[in-house]
Amino acid sequence: METKKKGGFSSSIGFVLSAAGSAVGVGNIWRFPYLAAQDGGGLFLLVYLGLVLTFGFTLLATDIALGRRTGKNALNVFGSLHPKWGFLGKMTFLVPAIIMTYYSVIGGWITKYMVVYLTGQGMAAAQDGYFTSFITSKASPIVFMLLFLAVTAFVVYSGVEEGIERFSKLVMPGLIFLIIGIAVFSLTLKNTDAAGTVRTGLKGLAVYLIPDLTGLTFSRFLKILLDAMSQLFFSLSVSMGIMITYGSYVKKDVNLNRSISQIELFDTGVALLAGMMIIPAVYVFSGTEGMAQGPSLMFVSLPKVFDAMGGVGIVVGIAFFVMVAVAALTSCVSVMETLVANCMELFHAPRKKTSLVIGMLSAVSAVVICLGYNVLYFEFPLPNGQTGQLLDVMDYASNSFLLPLICLLTCIFAGWVIQPDWIVEEMETGGYTFRRKKIYAVIIRYIAPVLMTVIFLQSAGCLR
């Protein structure tokens, strides 16, 4: 069963940084801080940390061990272990295929803002309507998307070790450096608004860190738990086939226990720092009401905050968008790599040719998504009650519908079909001990399937 792969990560640190590159993305920067602000600050953080150490570890270990033990990609891994489960591989393959259609579009938006700040036009980005007029324009979003996609495809084309590993080792430490710098700066901010209220970054930090228990009921706690859980598996890039693919590139002598803890530490650390950077800054200039959800936080609220900072805001804006661009790029690389790796296995095709074909197909589909804001504009009603454009429909299909479903099925597969011991053996390969193996078995067999079912029903609109 143990097949050897050709390409692979040359070192444990290369694997950790590449996997962290996938995990750290726009979810850490625009979703985590927003959820923390909305869900009782420190309370959300405590729940999230508890989940990282239990569920996070379980889900990440399952994906990575599946990949390393079989040396296969998602498309074939499940079917090769049990003939009736081949469908799960196909479903898992769908996720990166859907995400690829729109992720580079968001990457293009980020690239545009990075260029705007680098060329000293940050003030314009703070004007009302700037973001909407940009994404609804015909040419510009396509041009920036193509730029972003070209860099992504180049990294994937260059290979696992020469491309992904090398690139991640280069940019991930820089990302940490930038985010720490901006977070520390955020804490030093101070502003007096028109009504004479003085707000400081440190007070904003208190809003972020101190658990807000006012009006806490069981159902509110449940909501916080579900928010934290769905954020967690999105943030760790599990159930997308990505970690299975990356796992298949890891050498047998690497201690998976340690690597997984490091990936989690990296991902959670960046999320916590993103909150420390964004919540105090928004609080100082717009109060807690300024915390917007989704893209509007990054493309509308933050440019206003940078503008309110004066001259230094331009520098902070540059640092911020460079950092987000890096985070988005390494995530997009992992999505494209997963597609390329699966297709290489499927068609027995070489990497370079497959990367070019997937790159072209991604470009075509991303152009369609860009046009979803002008020529192809529709308002689709989504099962969760909101309406959206093409991009939102794709995002909904992959993240709200397929992800929890695949996560649920993967837990059933690992917990009941191949059994937890199969994963434990892989985690202990090389003589390492899997210390959390008892809790692993309980979570994968019982707790995760129940929670995932609830999350799935909730996002499918059945629990409103």
Residues at the contact surface with ligand PHE, assessed by CB under 6 A: 22-23, 25-28, 99, 234-235, 237, 331, 334-335
Cα–Cα dist 166/201, whole Å: 37
Task: For ligand PHE, give the closer residue by CB, 44 or 85.
Answer: 44
Residue 81 or 97: which CB sits closer to ligand PHE? Answer: 97
Closest distance to ligand PHE from the beta carbon of 191 (Å)? 30
Q: In this complex, which beta carbon is closest to ligand PHE, that of residue 28 or of residue 257?
A: 28
Instruction: Give me the least distance between CB of 327 and ligand PHE, in Å please.
Output: 7
- Cα–Cα distance, 62 to 426 (Å, whole number): 10
Q: CB 343 → ligand PHE: shortest distance, Å?
A: 17
**HSE-up of 63 (CA within 13 Å, CB side)?**
27
Cα 313 to Cα 85: distance, rounded to the nearest angstrom:
53
- Which lies closer to ligand PHE via its Cβ, residue 70 or residue 330? 330
CB 35 → ligand PHE: shortest distance, Å?
12
Quote the CA–CA distance of 388 and 397 in Å, as a whole number: 12
Q: What distance in Å separates the CA atoms of residue 335 and residue 333, rounded to the nearest whole number?
A: 5
Structure tokens at 238: 């599990």
The residue (of 335 and 424) whose beta carbon lies closer to ligand PHE is: 335
Closest CA to 264 of 50, 9, 10, 37: 50
27 vs 204, which CB is nearer to ligand PHE?
Answer: 27
Complex with ligand PHE: residue 60 or 250, whichever CB lies closer: 60
Q: Which two tokens stand for residue 268?
A: 């959670």
- CB-wise, 81 or 297, nearer to ligand PHE? 297
Smallest separation, CB 429 to ligand PHE (Å) = 26
Contact 62, 78 (CB under 8 A): no
CB of 112 to ligand PHE, least distance (A): 19
CB 103 → ligand PHE: shortest distance, Å? 6
Q: What's the sign of the alpha-carbon dihedral 347, 349, 355, 361?
A: negative
The nearest distance, CB 44 to ligand PHE, in angstroms, is: 16
